[in-house]
């Protein structure tokens, strides 16, 4: 009845389809869709808020910290102002030292001068001690001449380099943490040059991290492909058993899996004991398989294997067996059929698994820390060191930002050349 009426109305009146209450259908549909959208939005609000606080905010915080450099600007404003007219080559004159004496006295009272010293110590060892010592002594001196007073306290104040370093921090933001994170440094002429050879560490650690992650992605592919193939093609009762065997370690605590590798691989461990008992090696020459790079690679490959197997399996299950049979019946042998028909169809699974394993491996921390010894450490371990031990959060932020950026770049290249259309997990 109502519909009929409606049609009548719309036919008679203005050519617009209307609902029972007379509103145009288009409008009513829009409203309904908006309501639907709002409902969906409210459902994901908790997740959005969670991501904002646990992901977006910390990343922004990390990025800010990596460029923030507020200490000298905030706590030595007079000195910086006095240094504006300095030629940068000869030792500054009395006005600079007088301004500095002011800053030191205020900084000593507010206990902030130590922060400046600690910050500058990252650039030049000994600055921390120089600032603390000077702060203590200058406090007791009432009147100038200040230049002589500073020189009496420590002869490092006669060093032009000290002032170059102070002046370099005349902005609250600087790239100096990034310079350090790339094994570079600024010399006395403020040119960026390579860090002394025995102090270069971060670039090689980045390269090592990428290399190890790539190797682990390849290893998990080689090991995971046959497992996923069996799981996708065996009768259900066998494939279920295999699935459980894949998932069981996946559900086991990361620490348990890592430490069980220690039990197996250490020089007094199960594998070495068996090799010695079989007479393959002497007791004196046990194989060092852990607390080095080998340990890191073995343990991480094992731990990340499910992340390769599961995407592969989910793709392989959708490949109809009839394609292979068709290829065979058209004359291809087993190998050709596999390479030309089966393998190309698994590419979405391979690329999904590889990118997943690679990205997880790049940020891996606890496993290399436990089994990596000194040669199996990755970049995340040095980031943790600067967070927890050296308290150089700016450098940790810069290293983290570089890591984030390189992952994004690699991800962009990857999706451009290999495509991630088939990306699905589980």
Partner 1 sequence: MKTKNLANALAVAGFGVVLALGGSSLAKAEEFTAVSWGGAYSASQSNAYIKPYMQANSDVKINFEDYSGGLAEVRAQSEAGNVTWDLVDVIYTDAVTGCDEGLFLEIDFDDDLARGRDGSRPTQDFLPEALGNPCFIPQIAYSTVFGFRKDLVSPKSIADVFDLEKFPGKRGLQKVPTYNLEWALIADGVDKADVYDVLSTPAGVDRAFAKLDTIKDSVVWWEAGAQPPQLLADGEVVMASAYNGRLFAAIEEEKQPIEMLWDGQALDLDGWAIAAGSDHVDAVKKFVRFATDTQRLADQAKWISYGPLRKSSLPLVGKHADLGIDMAPHMPTKYADQGFWTGFDFWADNKDELSERFNAWLAQ
The reply to whether 205 sits near partner 1 by the rule CB under 8 A is: yes
Tell the smallest beta-carbon distance from residue 58 to partner 1 (Å). 12
Chain CA centroid to CA 136, Å: 41
Nearer to partner 1, 98 or 123 (CB): 123
From its phi and psi, is residue 343 left (phi > 0), alpha (psi between -120 and 50) or beta?
Answer: alpha
Single residue of 6, 19, 112, 345 touching partner 1 by CB under 8 A: 112
Nearer to partner 1, 15 or 197 (CB): 197
- What is the maximum span of the chain, computed from C-alpha positions, in angstroms? 104
From 155-163, 312-320, 339-347, 381-389, give the range in contact with partner 1 by CB under 8 A.
381-389
In the shown chain, the binding pattern of residues 243 to 282 toward partner 1, with x for contact by CB under 8 A and - for none, equals: -----------------------xxx--------------
Chain CA centroid to CA 74, Å: 30
In the shown chain, the binding pattern of residues 19 to 58 toward partner 1, with x for contact by CB under 8 A and - for none, equals: ----------------------------------------
Nearer to partner 1, 112 or 233 (CB): 112
Total chain residues near partner 1 (CB under 8 A) = 36
According to DSSP, residue 364 is labeled -
The reply to whether 391 sits near partner 1 by the rule CB under 8 A is: yes
Tell the smallest beta-carbon distance from residue 173 to partner 1 (Å). 18
Tell the smallest beta-carbon distance from residue 208 to partner 1 (Å). 8
- CA–CA separation, 412 and 404 (whole Å): 12
3 state SS of 101: helix
E strand or H helix that includes residue 313? helix 293-316
Residue 136: how many CA atoms within 13 Å on its side-chain side? Answer: 7
Tell the smallest beta-carbon distance from residue 43 to partner 1 (Å). 31
From 165-173, 346-354, 386-394, 407-415, give the range in contact with partner 1 by CB under 8 A.
386-394
User: DSSP letter string over 249-278?
Assistant: HHHS-HHHHHHHHHHHHSTTSHHHHHHHHT
In the shown chain, the binding pattern of residues 308 to 337 toward partner 1, with x for contact by CB under 8 A and - for none, equals: ------------------------------
360 within 8 A of 378, measured Cβ to Cβ: no
The reply to whether 382 sits near partner 1 by the rule CB under 8 A is: yes
From 28-36, 86-94, 110-118, 160-168, give the range in contact with partner 1 by CB under 8 A.
110-118
3 state SS of 280: coil
103 within 8 A of 169, measured Cβ to Cβ: no
> Which whole-number Å values give the CA distances from 201 to 39, 194, 197, 379, in the listed order?
52, 11, 9, 10
Tell the smallest beta-carbon distance from residue 116 to partner 1 (Å). 9
- CA–CA separation, 28 and 6 (whole Å): 14
Q: How far apart are the first and last CA of the chain?
A: 50
> Residues interacting with partner 1, by CB under 8 A?
111-112, 114-115, 117-118, 121-122, 125-129, 132, 198-201, 204-205, 266-268, 291, 373-375, 377, 382, 387-393
């Amino acid at each position: 009845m109502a519909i009929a009426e409606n049609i009548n109305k719309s036919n008679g009146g203005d050519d617009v389809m209307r609902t029972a209450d007379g509103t145009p259908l288009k409008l009513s549909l829009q409203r309904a869709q908006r309501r639907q959208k709002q409902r969906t939005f409210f459902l994901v609000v908790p997740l959005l808020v969670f991501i904002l606080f646990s992901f977006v905010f910390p990343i922004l915080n990390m990025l800010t910290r990596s460029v923030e450099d507020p200490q000298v600007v905030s706590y030595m404003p007079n000195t910086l102002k006095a240094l504006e007219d300095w030629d940068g080559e000869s030792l500054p004159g009395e006005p600079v030292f007088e301004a500095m004496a002011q800053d030191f006295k205020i900084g000593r009272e507010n206990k902030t001068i130590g922060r400046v010293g600690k910050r500058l110590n990252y650039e030049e060892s000994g600055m921390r001690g120089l600032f603390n010592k000077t702060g203590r002594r200058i406090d007791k001196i009432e009147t100038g001449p200040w230049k002589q007073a500073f020189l009496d306290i420590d002869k490092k104040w006669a060093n032009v380099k000290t002032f170059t370093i102070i002046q370099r921090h005349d902005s609250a933001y600087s790239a100096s943490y990034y310079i350090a994170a790339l094994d570079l440094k600024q010399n006395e002429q403020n040119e960026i040059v390579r860090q002394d050879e025995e102090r270069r560490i971060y670039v090689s650690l980045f390269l090592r991290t990428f290399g190890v992650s790539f190797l682990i992605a390849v290893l998990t592919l080689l090991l995971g492909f046959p497992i996923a193939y069996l799981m996708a093609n065996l009768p259900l009762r066998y494939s279920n058993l295999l699935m459980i065997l894949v998932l069981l370690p996946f559900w086991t605590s990361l620490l348990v899996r890592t430490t069980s590798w220690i039990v197996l691989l250490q020089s007094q461990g199960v594998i070495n004991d068996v090799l010695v008992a079989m007479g393959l090696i002497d007791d004196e020459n046990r194989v060092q398989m852990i607390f080095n790079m080998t340990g890191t690679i073995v343990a991480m490959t094992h731990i990340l294997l499910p992340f390769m197997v599961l995407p592969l399996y989910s793709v392989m299950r959708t490949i109809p067996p009839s394609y292979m049979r068709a290829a065979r019946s058209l004359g291809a042998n087993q190998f050709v059929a596999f390479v030309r028909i089966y393998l190309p169809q698994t590419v979405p699974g391979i690329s999904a698994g590889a990118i997943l394993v690679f990205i997880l491996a790049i940020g891996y921390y606890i496993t290399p820390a436990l089994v990596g010894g000194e040669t199996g450490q990755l970049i995340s371990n040095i980031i943790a060191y600067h967070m927890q031990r050296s308290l150089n959060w700016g450098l940790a932020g810069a290293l983290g930002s570089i890591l984030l950026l390189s992952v994004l770049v690699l991800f962009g290249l990857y999706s451009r050349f290999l495509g991630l259309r088939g990306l699905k997990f589980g």
